[in-house]
Structure 1
Amino acid sequence: MNRWNRFFMQLLAFFLIIAIGYQVKPNPFALNDLSSIHHIVPVSEDNTLLKTIKEKSKEYEEPAENAKIHDVWKKMPGRNGIKVNIEASYKKMKEKGRFDETLLVYDQVKPEVTLKDLPPSPIYRGHPDKQMVAFLINVAWGEDNIPSILNTLKKQKVKATFFIEGKWASKNPDLVKMIQEEGHLIGNHAYNHPDMSRLGDAENREQIVKTNEILEGILGERPKWFAPPSGSMNDQVVKLAAEEGMETILWTVDTIDWKKPTTDVMVNRVMGKLHPGAMILMHPTDVIERGLEDLILNIKEKKYKLGTVARLLSEKRF
């Protein structure tokens, strides 16, 4: 019996050893679970890609530029700076697992000084680094051409700024409303196209205020932009416009459409003088009606965007 007892005791010990070994054997499924948890935890500071983005971000950032009074161009808009959004950039790059500058995400940083902070002064152009131009369409006649011009602008998905004479607006309220409904910006072009540099303050103020009242009655909003007829003005006119809450707008490129050039001459003239931030003067004339689409296509071919005066003079990059 003692021999059989020893045999059973040895057998029992053998199974106990096997059982204990089984319990302490690593569980491969548990390791996989830990591994998967490791991949979904928030990225730590020592993540290589995140550190690379942080280190390189300064190379791609640009400071904001303040609006200023230029010696030649007078009042000029500033430009937003750009700062790399580290978190958003990382999210776009993490699938690739490597740094890619084309996937950087930027936040725009506003300048400390904007146009509103500067004293009254005329504005001739947008920021020289902004690859955008604006059409200024001064309206005191040409009602027969306006519907066609609006159709061309709509077809080409371009928004322009129409500076409208008060007297003309009072006779053509439906056209004024049509321009607004097409999404274009409307500004003040005085009441009856005077030479404002020769008028006194009271007369000039009446020209501006009367036109504002007419346009507000038609549009439901008061204009914020003023274009003196023929560009004729002086410092006092600019100051009066500012007192009415408006910026005075001039131009850097003239279509000379009032001289009745051919469409080719008009287009070539504009393209020869085109530059970033250009404000392009035109009227609802026959040559603009015929040549506007060609002009737009040529401008787009040069990789310029087209927008309203408000958009061009905004600090936003685009």
Structure 2
Amino acid sequence: MRKIVLISALLIGAWLTVNNPFSHTYVTGLKTETMPVAGQEHSLIAEIETKGKEYEVEPSNARKDPVWKLIPGYNGLKIDVKASHEKMKKDGKFDPDKLVYQEVSPEVHLSDLPPMAIYKGHPEKPMVSFIINVAWGNEYLSGMLATLKKHNVKASFFLEGRWVKNNPGLAKMIADAGHELGNHSFTHPNMKQLSAPAINEEIRKTNEVIEAVTGAQTKWFAPPSGYYKDEVVEIAAAHKLGTVMWSVDTIDWQKPSPEKLINRVMGKVHNGALILMHPTESTAASLDQLITQIKGKELQIGTVSDMLSEKRVMSKKMQE
């Protein structure tokens, strides 16, 4: 009997606790506090997924071009929903400036296409590259290197093998400054007129002397004076070198005034421009202003490898 009374008392106590108006208010309060927050988060994620698609960009495949031979691919952009939500959840509302992007690689790369010369980068990539061919002009190199360093610009120096052999200190100075080194043949011949064994020898010897002097391995070949034939490009590819030409020529060997050189380049500069120059007095005197004006057009300046890569140039807002 006493056991029955105790159980009954416990049951009555439990009923009173659950049905207590204060308990009911507390539980209801918990529900009303948590449900809207969860609902808002789910709503924001859905909004990011939907609206974010407007800001996504499809990747662009590398392709052959009837005029420009090969055009490199360019990464697309996809919204990272989770990372974007992390940046927006504090304010609880969609903000396109807080979107976080992931790069999406194209399906076709330069390496998937037959060897062909490359004259420029992707037309949507806001970057240019200086191709500086070096077989002479030692007296202007130090000044050009100082100007490039002042502007924190990396260029691609295409070195003649014979020049590297005769000027190992200057070649190492260029490499030590962080610039990219390319192959510019060994004796600066007309590559179009050479036999296959001679072409192979020009490229091979230059690669070897550049690596022996600087420790750098080249990725690109620039034919002297722009003379080449399909066989030259194919043999360069056998040495794992891409063949690059140019889309903007300073014509600095004609000794133009700095003003004329700058006006010529700025009148032709474009997204993906490969700008040909040499260590001349004209280029050395023009380089500071040329860099300033190119950057003023919101174009980055990078190496040939940077420019021909599929990696996107991201705006400052996207990088934050």
Which TM-score applies when normalising by structure 2?
0.88
Find out whether 1:276 has 2:271 as its counterpart: yes
Contact kept? 1:45, 1:51, Cα under 8 Å? no
In the TM superposition, 1:118-197 aligns within 5 A as 118-197=113-192
Taking only the aligned residue pairs, the percentage that are identical comes to 48
Instruction: Measure, in 1, the Cα distance between the counterparts of 2:208 and 2:35.
Output: 65
Instruction: Measure, in 2, the Cα distance between the counterparts of 1:262 and 1:46.
Output: 62
In the TM superposition, 1:258-297 aligns within 5 A as 258-297=253-292
Aligned with residue 43 of structure 2, among 38, 41, 48: 48
Listed one character per residue, the Cα deviations across residues 171-200 of structure 1 (whole Å, up to 9, x for unaligned) are: 111111111111110000000111111111
Q: Which amino acid aligns with 1:68?
A: R
Q: Which residue of 2 aligns with 1:38?
A: 34
Q: Which residue of 2 aligns with 1:80?
A: 75
Instruction: Measure, in 2, the Cα distance between the counterparts of 1:232 and 1:280.
Output: 17
Over the aligned positions, Cα root-mean-square deviation in angstroms equals: 2.5
Secondary structure of 1:144's counterpart equals helix
Which TM-score applies when normalising by structure 1?
0.88
Change (3 A) 1:291 1:39: farther
Q: Which amino acid aligns with 2:267?
A: G
Residue 302 of structure 1, CA deviation: 0.7
Instruction: Measure, in 1, the Cα distance between the counterparts of 2:176 and 2:108.
Output: 33
Contact kept? 2:196, 2:231, Cα under 8 Å? yes
Instruction: Measure, in 2, the Cα distance between the counterparts of 1:220 and 1:186.
Output: 10
Unmatched tracts of structure 1, length 5 or more? 1-19
Aligned with residue 248 of structure 1, among 240, 243, 258: 243
Change (3 A) 1:208 1:36: farther
Listed one character per residue, the Cα deviations across residues 66-88 of structure 1 (whole Å, up to 9, x for unaligned) are: 11111110011001111111111
Aligned with residue 101 of structure 1, among 83, 96, 103: 96
Instruction: Measure, in 1, the Cα distance between the counterparts of 2:266 and 2:32.
Output: 60
Contact kept? 2:76, 2:103, Cα under 8 Å? yes
The count of residues paired between Structure 1 and Structure 2 equals 300
Residue 45 of structure 1, CA deviation: 9.2
Contact kept? 1:125, 1:278, Cα under 8 Å? yes
Secondary structure of 2:133's counterpart equals strand
Change (3 A) 1:36 1:212: farther
Q: Which residue of 1 aligns with 2:206?
A: 211
Instruction: Measure, in 1, the Cα distance between the counterparts of 2:91 and 2:306.
Output: 36
Q: Which amino acid aligns with 1:301?
A: G
Q: Which amino acid aligns with 1:234?
A: K
Residue 219 of structure 1, CA deviation: 2.2
Residue 44 of structure 1, CA deviation: 6.2
Residue 38 of structure 1, CA deviation: 3.0
Q: Which amino acid aligns with 1:142?
A: G
Residue 252 of structure 1, CA deviation: 0.3
Q: Which residue of 2 aligns with 1:237?
A: 232
Secondary structure of 2:128's counterpart equals strand
Contact kept? 1:191, 1:211, Cα under 8 Å? yes
Contact kept? 2:175, 2:216, Cα under 8 Å? no
Change (3 A) 1:40 1:137: farther
Residue 63 of structure 1, CA deviation: 1.3
Residue 25 of structure 1, CA deviation: 4.9
Find out whether 1:221 has 2:216 as its counterpart: yes
Aligned with residue 309 of structure 1, among 292, 304, 311: 304
Instruction: Measure, in 2, the Cα distance between the counterparts of 1:29 and 1:160.
Output: 71
Q: Which residue of 2 aligns with 1:3?
A: none
Residue 222 of structure 1, CA deviation: 2.1
Q: Which residue of 2 aligns with 1:198?
A: 193
Contact kept? 2:74, 2:312, Cα under 8 Å? yes
Residue 113 of structure 1, CA deviation: 1.1
